[in-house]
Amino acid sequence: MVDSGLPKQIELLVDNLRKQNTAAMSLTEVASVTEVLIGTMNAFYRSIDTSIYRECRALSDYITNARKEIASLQPVDLESARIPRAGLELDAIVQQTEEATNTIMEAAEEIMGADPENHEAYQATTQDAVMRIFEACSFQDITGQRISKVVQTLSHIEQRVLELRNLMGVTEEDVQAAMEDAEPTGDAALLSGPALKGEGIDQTAVDSLMDGGPVAAAQDPAPAPAPAPAPEPAAAAPAPAPAPAPPPAPKPPKAVNPAELDAMFDEDFDPVADLKAKKEAEAEKKEEKKADDAEVNLPAGEEVSQDDIDALFG
């Protein structure tokens, strides 16, 4: 970049020359001015050379990295080893799957065609067929190993392509535009191969087509509704204050006997005599109780005679 002080320095030199009124200038003065201008322009050109050098250096590094990424793709290796090997593995998977299927079906036909009346022959045939079915089912392990090799090759290619895309500055908008341009149409859009679980047309749509009804288009499963936010717990209401206890009910007044009330105001009412008569009645009751206890608590073997009873009431 150009030094910001360069224009100021040139202006100072021009002003200095204008202020000098001398018509003739010496050779020394001209040489000094020329030297100052040459030094200033050298600094200017050096700054330009440095910026150009930095830009060229960055461009060179970019090209070098791009070459490394392209070389890391190993197109020769992919063309001569990895991709052909993946094709051979897929062919072997198809062949082994077909052979295992034929073996299983032949063994099942032998079991179905055996005569169950001959128990020994039927048992031997069944055991032999079942063993062959078990051996044929072992293709799954080998098939899994072959598929793993193919997946590794595809993962290697995908990783390198992504790195190259990032290096070249390809954006998501460019990818979407390329996908829209390459989108298949017509019959090519319908031939998508076997559908995964949850995709494609289900058996209900096939049955409806066979019955002559309209075919329901397969719909993507509706997204699960977002759970509603849990309501904030309400503040606990304060416990109600206990109700005051009701005052005790007043006791009803004791009923008054009118006869006793009248007796209180009789002229011949004598409370002392009444108390004496009451005590005499209580004494008589005690005597009667003692007599009854004496009759009940007789010695064992004794009986009460008529004379004793008469003597008691005599």
267 or 27: which carries more pLDDT confidence?
27
Q: Give the pLDDT of residue 218.
A: 47
Verify that 86 and 41 share a domain, yes or no: no
Cα–Cα distance, 107 to 50 (Å, whole number): 82
Q: Which of 175, 191, 213 is the last residue of a domain?
A: 175
Domain boundaries, position 116: 75-175
31 or 240: which carries more pLDDT confidence?
31
Q: Which of 54, 72, 90 is the last residue of a domain?
A: 72
Domain assignment present for residue 273? The answer is: no
Residue-wise pLDDT for 203-242, tens only, equals 777 777 777 755 554 455 455 555 555 555 444 445 555 6
Question: What's the structural domain count of the chain?
Answer: 2
Q: State the residue for tokens 């002559």.
A: 212
Q: Give the pLDDT of residue 262.
A: 62
Verify that 125 and 103 share a domain, yes or no: yes
Verify that 52 and 98 share a domain, yes or no: no
Q: What is the pTM of this model?
A: 0.38
Q: Are 3 and 47 in contact (CB under 8 A)?
A: yes
Residue 55 tokens read as 């830009």
Q: Are 40 and 9 in contact (CB under 8 A)?
A: yes
| Long-range CB contacts for residues 292-299, cutoff 8 Å, separation at least 24 | none
Domain assignment present for residue 294? The answer is: no
How do the residues of the chain divide into helix, strand and coil, expressed in percent and rounded to 5? 65, 0, 35
Verify that 80 and 56 share a domain, yes or no: no
305 or 234: which carries more pLDDT confidence?
305
Verify that 103 and 171 share a domain, yes or no: yes
Average pLDDT over every residue of 48-77? 77
Residue-wise pLDDT for 157-183, tens only, equals 888 888 777 777 777 887 777 777 766
Verify that 59 and 80 share a domain, yes or no: no
Verify that 92 and 155 share a domain, yes or no: yes
Measured CA to CA in angstroms, residue 243 lies from 194, 236, 239, 247 at distances of 77, 20, 12, 12
Q: Which of 117, 149, 175 is the last residue of a domain?
A: 175
Verify that 28 and 82 share a domain, yes or no: no
Domain assignment present for residue 301? The answer is: no
Residues 6+ apart with CB under 8 A from 163: 69, 72
Percent of the chain with pLDDT over 70: 57
